Amino acid sequence: MPSLAAKITLISKSLPSHRPGPTRHYEGGVRLNNGIFQVLSSSDEAKLKVQLKTSPTIYYSKWRDGVFSVVVSTKETEFTVLCKTSDISGLQGMVRSLMGLPPGGADDKENRPAENRRPPQPKTPVATTKRRCSNKKTPSPIKTMNNLSTQQSSALTLFMTTSHNIFLTGSAGTGKTYLLKTMIQNSRKGTMVTSTTNVGAVLLEGCSLQSFAGFGIRIPNKDGIKEIFKNDRVLKRWQKTKTLIIDECSMLSAALLTSLNIAGKLAHSSNEPFGGIRLVFCGDFYQLPPVTGEFCFTAASWTEASFTTIELLAPFRQRSDFAAVLDRIRLGTYTSKDSDLINSRKIAEGEDLDDATILCTHVNQVNAINDGWCDRHETKTFTCVDTGVGGMKSVPKELRLFISARVVLTANVNKNRSLVNGTQGVVVRWEKGLPVVRFDLGFNRKLDKLVGMHRFEAKLGSKVVSSRSQIPLQLSYALSIHKSQGMTLSKVVVDLEKVFEDGMAYVALSRVKSLAGLRVKGEARMGRVSEIVRKFWAEKKEGAELADGKEGGESDDEQR
């Protein structure tokens, strides 16, 4: 087998000529003045150092056929420098260092040229979560690369430098949503951001998959899609779509995926899979399944899409020992010791659990618990303000709050201060008729914040079709297990005797950061694992191209 150095390729090709000019950001790197040089070996660091400093160039990263590389281009030639080891960030850093650039990459704000820095953004009186399907921005340099693990960085590079359809997966708490948000930040014009759940759509500032597709509640066949496409706005939206992102794909049914494939082909007048639209799916099939129908991977359309699978392995939410137990429960390989460990967290007689969130299997249980707390206190009622057509069911019409009420944020209010969707707190007082919440930021940090009305917007393409202004809070005494999927909670109570779906027990147990924060009611059953999912992964496991990571991120709050 030839050595890696022997595999290094020198590709001569004609590149568009361009006038020498000042440094400009380009893709994941930078564009400098033109120059011509030769690099024959990634191990020849001395030659690389001389050439990079004397012959400025274009460089960017890519992943192809399971090999990571840095591409270095000049006016007349292009060189591919392969990564010799698994230290991908090290190769990127070496190239940047030899070029005399800051090691942080093009997203290093302190070292970024002034003309490329984002100007100060004007403040607006009302915070806005734009649930947009379309991302119209063409990305500048890679954003937030420094906050990603090596494995996540490789996945982001794959997304940015190839046109592969991507299936992003991994167990709970491995940073899937955080990576997906970073992909969205670095996406190009024509990227539609959707989720199979309304909560997921709000979290990603996108829209529901059904809203994007224009399908409504019922899944249409080919003739039904043709009727839908008589609506010019829906048809144009599909025609403008170049990349379709779908979060929580475990809840996407095979029937809906088939209809999406048909719609893409009709809209783009193409027989390519999904009409040539690039797909990025994110989710974990070991979690909650579709409400009705089969898993989407059972459809012929899934095979037709030929996904590149990325499985994230490094846990950010839980410590490795508890994460290992959860992973065995996820896979259905848990032991009697694992069951005993979970059952050891049973509620003790007289134990105070007022600060715990109760995860329920049914919505009527959730409403009864939260309403019961409101009935015992003097409450204020906040009524929403709607505009446009259609409702936003994930945002309540009326919200009842009271002093000392435990709440959770339902929108990103201030990311820099960790006030994001899922942050928990307690209502401590009223100011100007609005709640002041004492948020728990972890590590014994508290922050009092006046929470005003927040405008949630649903957009299709560039048009806002509806909005709802409401206090972005929700009582957190009880949540449904379905609604908790994707959340990170400090202390929970779960009743595993009543689980009724595959993956439901795992979703409930994996919401909590640590075993110390878990309490169980009754005799814990670990629940079932779908045999269809087992078989799917048995066939797919070797296809997970980016499944190396053992690096942890226990202290990274953003990714939990």
The Cα–Cα gap between 193 and 206 comes to 5
Q: Tell me which of 175 and 85 has the higher pLDDT.
A: 175
- What are 440-483's pLDDT values in tens digits? 876 577 889 999 999 888 766 456 778 889 999 989 899 888 87
pLDDT higher than threshold 50 for residue 553: no
CA pair distance 167, 186, nearest whole angstrom? 17
Q: Is the pLDDT of residue 262 over 70?
A: yes
Give 197-208 pLDDT, tens digit per residue: 766 776 777 778
Query: What is the SS3 assignment for 406?
Result: strand
Average pLDDT over residues 166-178: 84
pLDDT digits (tens, 9 = 90+) for 388-430: 766 677 788 899 999 999 998 888 787 667 677 767 789 999 9
SS3 for 281? strand
State the CB neighbour count (10 A cutoff) for residue 46: 9
Helices 150-161, 176-185: axis angle to 10 degrees equals: 40
pLDDT value for 220: 92
| pLDDT level of residue 221 (50, 70, 90 thresholds) | very high
Query: Which stretches does DSSP call E strand in 133-235?
Result: 134-135, 166-170, 191-195, 207-208
8-state DSSP, 235: H
Return d(Cα 295, Cα 530) in angstroms, integer.
Answer: 10
Which DSSP symbol is given to 417? G
| Least confidently predicted of 91-105, 244-258, 277-291, 388-402 | 91-105
Give me the mean pLDDT over the 208-226 stretch: 88
Tokens (6 digits) for 514: 């640590």
| Burial of residue 38 (number of CB atoms within 10 Å: 0-12, 13-18, 19+) | exposed
**512: helix, coil or strand?**
strand
Pairing of strands 434-442, 424-431: antiparallel
> For the chain, how long is the longest CA-to-CA vector?
77
352 alpha-carbon distance from chain centroid: 35
Q: Where are the domains of the chain?
A: 4-109, 127-316+540-559, 334-528
pLDDT at 351: 78
Contact 295, 158 (CB under 8 A): no
In 443-525, DSSP assigns E strands to: 445-450, 454-460, 463-470, 473-475, 478-480, 492-494, 518-520
Mean pLDDT of 367-384: 93
Stated pTM of the model: 0.60
Region for 524 from its dihedrals, namely left if φ exceeds 0, alpha if ψ lies in -120 to 50, beta otherwise: beta
Residue whose structure tokens are 């100060």: 120
Looking at per-residue confidence, does 532 or 117 come out higher?
A: 532
Q: Using CA atoms, how far apart are residues 217 and 221, in angstroms rounded to an integer?
A: 13
Using one digit for the tens of pLDDT, what is the confidence trace for 120-140?
A: 433 333 444 445 566 554 444
Pairing of strands 478-480, 357-360: parallel
What CA–CA distance (Å, rounded) separates 201 from 199? 5
Q: What CATH number was assigned to the domain covering residues 127-316+540-559?
A: 3.40.50.300
Query: What number of CA atoms fall less than 13 Å from residue 136's CA on the CB side?
Result: 8
